């Protein structure tokens, strides 16, 4: 059902010329079938016009659908039932025409309702998207504003105090977090090579962490993802890299995080690994990380895959997904 509604939203509705072309094409086909089968089609002949009315209303809008329905009704009334060329109908044929007119009206009514519902949903989706973009913009601006306040405080404390150094570090992290936030929610990211995009994203995360000396390795083929898929993949990579930075490099000044994407023909594998101590023995058995794991699995399902964790040297997360 979800796929059907998605296809319907993509149909080019309210295109009068397209609607007229579709209606005329199926009208001609129905007329040809009527004369081809001759008397065999009497009694149900007008029903062959229903696809023409349906497609005309679906592509061209309700007005085009009504116009095609009127033409089909007139032609069926005059030419599909004896005596041909007149508006005289026998009782059985009157019933057939009544059923045809009712069915055509029902088709147009349903199409009208679907068009209104889809248009309302599209407008609501656009409003939500605009509000979401505005929210992300405000969050990034607020991070930069806090960074600016910290910079002013640092100047008041002087350059040689431990507090000034701590504030400078916090300021740098906030600025980096702001860049990460903007990068995650920037639609222009879809035009970047995926490897360059992921490298920039992970570099910002490392610079904002307590382990800025961690080495980063990113490998990815030149694959094209939709904006929604890129967003889900970015959030997964950001969460996994952040987890590595939090847990893999305690009491260490350096280390390595690798982000690798491999595969082809629409099926790919993401692998995020570090050279830390690896996953704890009780990983996945408690509720400590249930929220984070739930979010990661939800994002993985949006890509048509599932995320699995492996032990072994270091911590390894693997996601098979579809592009």
pLDDT at site 285:
61
Whether residue 303 has pLDDT greater than 50? yes
Backbone angles phi, psi at 260, to 5 degrees: -130, 135
What are the tens digits of pLDDT across the range 230-285?
888 988 898 899 888 888 887 777 889 999 999 877 789 999 999 888 887 777 66
**Residue 322: helix, strand or coil by DSSP?**
strand
Residues 79, 30 contacting (CB under 8 angstroms)? no
Q: How confident is the model at residue 159 (pLDDT cuts 50, 70, 90)?
A: low
d(C-alpha 177, C-alpha 144), whole Å = 9
Query: Quick check: 274 and 248 in contact, CB under 8 A?
Result: yes
Higher pLDDT, 135 or 202: 202
Which whole number is the average pLDDT over 278-294?
Answer: 68
Q: Per residue in 170-182, pLDDT tens? A: 776 677 667 777 7
- 20 and 56 Cβ atoms separated by less than 8 Å: yes
- What is the mean predicted confidence (pLDDT) over 27-42? 69
Q: What is the mean pLDDT of the chain?
A: 80
Lowest-pLDDT choice from 55-69, 115-129, 287-301: 287-301
Read off the pLDDT of residues 182-240 as tens digits, 9 standing for 90 and up: 777 777 777 888 999 899 889 988 887 877 889 999 999 888 888 788 888 988 898 89
CA distance 85 to 119: 42
Rounded Cα distance between 180 and 70, Å, is 59
Domains of the chain: 2-124 (no CATH), 193-323 (3.30.565.10)
Residue range 81-122, pLDDT digits in tens = 777 778 787 777 888 888 889 999 999 999 888 888 888 888
| Structural contact between residues 74 and 55, judged by C-beta atoms closer than 8 angstroms | no
User: Which residues is 311 bridged to in the sheet?
Assistant: 315
Q: How far is CA 98 from the centre of its chain?
A: 44
Q: Select from 220, 231, 217 the least CA-distant residue to 314.
A: 217
* pLDDT mean over 25-45: 69
DSSP-based helix, strand, coil % in the chain, nearest 5: 65, 10, 25
Report how far apart, in Å, the C-alpha atoms of 246 and of each of 123, 210, 251 are: 41, 8, 11
**Burial status of residue 244 (CB atoms within 10 A of its CB: 0-12, 13-18, 19 or more):** buried
What does each C-alpha distance from 182 to 164, 195, 231, 272 come to in angstroms? 27, 18, 12, 22
């Amino acid at each position: 059902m979800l796929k059907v509604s998605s296809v319907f939203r993509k149909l080019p509705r309210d295109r009068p010329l397209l609607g007229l072309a579709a209606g005329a094409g199926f009208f001609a086909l129905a007329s040809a079938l009527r004369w081809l089968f001759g008397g065999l089609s009497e009694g149900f002949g007008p029903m062959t016009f229903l696809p023409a009315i349906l497609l005309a209303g679906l592509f061209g809008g309700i007005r085009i659908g009504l116009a095609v329905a009127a033409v089909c009704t007139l032609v069926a009334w005059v030419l599909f039932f004896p005596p041909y060329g007149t508006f005289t109908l026998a009782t059985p044929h009157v019933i057939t025409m009544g059923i045809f007119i009712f069915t055509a009206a029902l088709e147009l009514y349903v199409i009208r309702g679907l068009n209104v519902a889809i248009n309302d949903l599209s407008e609501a989706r656009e409003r939500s998207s605009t509000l979401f973009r505005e929210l992300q913009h405000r969050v990034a601006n607020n991070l930069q504003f806090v960074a600016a306040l910290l910079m002013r405080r640092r100047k008041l404390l002087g350059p040689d105090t431990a507090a000034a150094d701590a504030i400078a570090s916090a300021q740098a992290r906030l600025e980096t977090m702001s860049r990460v936030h903007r990068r995650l929610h920037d639609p222009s990211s879809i035009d970047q090579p995926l490897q360059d995009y992921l490298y920039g994203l992970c570099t910002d995360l490392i610079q904002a962490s307590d382990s800025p000396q961690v080495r980063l390795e990113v490998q990815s083929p030149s694959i094209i993802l939709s904006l929604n898929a890129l967003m889900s993949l970015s959030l997964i990579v950001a969460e996994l890299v952040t987890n590595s930075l939090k847990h893999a490099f305690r009491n260490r000044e350096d280390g390595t995080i690798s982000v690798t994407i491999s595969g082809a023909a629409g099926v790919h594998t993401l692998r995020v690994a570090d050279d830390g101590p690896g996953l704890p023995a009780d990983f996945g058995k408690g509720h400590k990380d249930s929220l984070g794991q739930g979010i990661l699995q939800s994002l993985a399902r949006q890509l048509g895959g599932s995320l699995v964790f492996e032990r072994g040297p270091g911590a390894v997360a693997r996601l098979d997904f579809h592009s």
